[in-house]
Amino acid sequence: MCTYYRNECCDCRTGGERLISADGADKTAAGAEVTNATVAPAIAPTPISINNQKRVTLNQVVSDEFVGPVLPSATPTTTPTITPAPTAKPTVKPVAKRYRSLVLSVAKDYVNVRKSRSTDSKVMGKLHRGSSAKILKVKGDWVKIRSGKVTGYVKKEYVATGARAEKLSTRFGKNYAVVKKGTDTLNVREEKNTKSDIVTQITDGDDAIVKSISKDWVKIKTDSGKVGYVAKEYVSTTLKFKHAISAAQKKASESAKSTSTAKEPSGKSGSAVVKYALQFVGNPYVWGGTSLTGGADCSGFTMRIYEKFGYSLPHSSAAQAGYGRSVSMSSLQPGDLLFYKHGSSIGHVAMYIGGGRIVHAAGKKWGIVTANAFYRTPCCARRILG
């Protein structure tokens, strides 16, 4: 804010006029005669300057008369008052609704999610840097949150909220295109026009990483690694964040890490393959990943499992569908690979473990899990062994 900082006056007097009567007597303007018998010759007034005012000498007496006509009193000069223009208040962009109830971890590595508002209470999970959580309530220096499967308290100093969280969102989040409800199948095209070749297809609820956005098209990368363009009107884009890892998930992951090195696969039966694969349940899903402990995607998971048994598979679900031999759904055995389509193309692979169930790297939200083999309809099955 600026502050502005902000006389002089004068007055004039006039004396009586000097008059000489007909008999030579000296009179004042008031008419009183001068008593001198001898009249001295008139002396022309000599102007002098005193304090910038012109005065005259008369018979060696200084008079306070101005030379010339009587001047009016000068009008005092006044500096005009300048009223400062009102300071414009800075425009504050309102925080987007999503970030009014969301926190992002700004801890150097992670912040513990605790059961109660005490650093001595039980650790329920860990909220890693950049991971998000929903605010349930704020009390003192603690924030109660829910993130993934974890609910508990974190210290307020380790999380960003409101405008700060919104500002950090593009650094920590990943932009995804999500197929809008009611769109059964969406073509992913090679170029930004409806006449170009179809690379693959995605369906209602599927999401894909956004590479770029133009006026009418969104360039995406699917879970299967296919890159192409989808019509913008059929997808919505959203930033997605990682969630907290629960204590149980962390324990399972650490257990998997220790057992994966301690228990090497024995034999080459389907049951041996499944037994080895199940050690990694609870580990994270990482798109493009091939680490059974640090994170893998669906084809990276099956590729690494079979690698331990001496089989070399490509890192692509569609390509893996060309390996081994075809088997029917009625003759599935543990260790067989089941394939699922995204639109018209194969986009996911899982391992059959028996009893109508599978083990697979399901996605970022779930990690490596077991599930119903027919949660979606498999398009084909392949037996790698034998």
Q: Is 210 helix (H, G, I), strand (E, B) or coil?
A: strand
What pLDDT, in 10s, does the model give residues 336-352? 999 998 778 898 999 99
CA dihedral defined by 90, 93, 99, 104, rounded to 10 degrees?
Answer: -50
Between these two residues, 30 and 130, which has the higher pLDDT value? 130
Confidence of residue 324 (pLDDT cuts 50, 70, 90): very high
Domain boundaries, the chain: 1-83, 97-172, 175-240, 245-383
Confidence of residue 159 (pLDDT cuts 50, 70, 90): very high
What is the topology classification, in CATH, of domain 97-172?
A: SH3 type barrels. (2.30.30)
Q: Is 298 a residue of the active site?
A: yes
**Residues whose CB is less than 8 angstroms from the CB of residue 289 and which lie 6 or more positions away in sequence, other chains included:** 295, 296, 297, 300
Q: Is 342 a residue of the active site?
A: no
Worst-scoring range by mean pLDDT, 43-57, 87-101, 109-123? 43-57
Domain 97-172 and domain 175-240 have a common topology: yes
Burial (Cβ within 10 Å: 0-12, 13-18, ≥19) of residue 52: exposed
- What pLDDT, on a 0 to 100 scale, did the predictor assign at position 255? 56
Which of 198, 205, 256, 257 is CA-nearest to residue 230? Answer: 198
Give the residue-averaged pLDDT of 371-381.
Answer: 92
Between these two residues, 118 and 71, which has the higher pLDDT value? 118
C-alpha 261/C-alpha 347 separation (Å) is 30
CATH code at 245-383: 3.90.1720.10
pLDDT score of 183 more than 90: no
Q: Is 348 a residue of the active site?
A: yes
The helix or strand, by DSSP H or E, that contains position 261, with its residue range, turns out to be helix 247-262
**Catalytic member of 128, 348, 379, 380:** 348
**Catalytic member of 9, 12, 298, 380:** 298
Give the residue-averaged pLDDT of 75-90.
Answer: 65
Say which amino acid occupies 115. Answer: K
What is the topology classification, in CATH, of domain 175-240?
A: SH3 type barrels. (2.30.30)
Q: Which two tokens stand for residue 353?
A: 């473990």
Counting residues of the chain whose pLDDT is more than 90, the rounded percentage is 51
Q: Strands 295-296 and 53-58, how do they pair?
A: unpaired
- What pLDDT, on a 0 to 100 scale, did the predictor assign at position 253? 59
What pLDDT, in 10s, does the model give residues 242-296? 999 888 777 665 655 554 453 555 567 888 999 999 999 999 988 888 889 888 9
pTM above 0.75, yes or no: no
C-alpha 380/C-alpha 242 separation (Å) is 32
Burial (Cβ within 10 Å: 0-12, 13-18, ≥19) of residue 100: middle
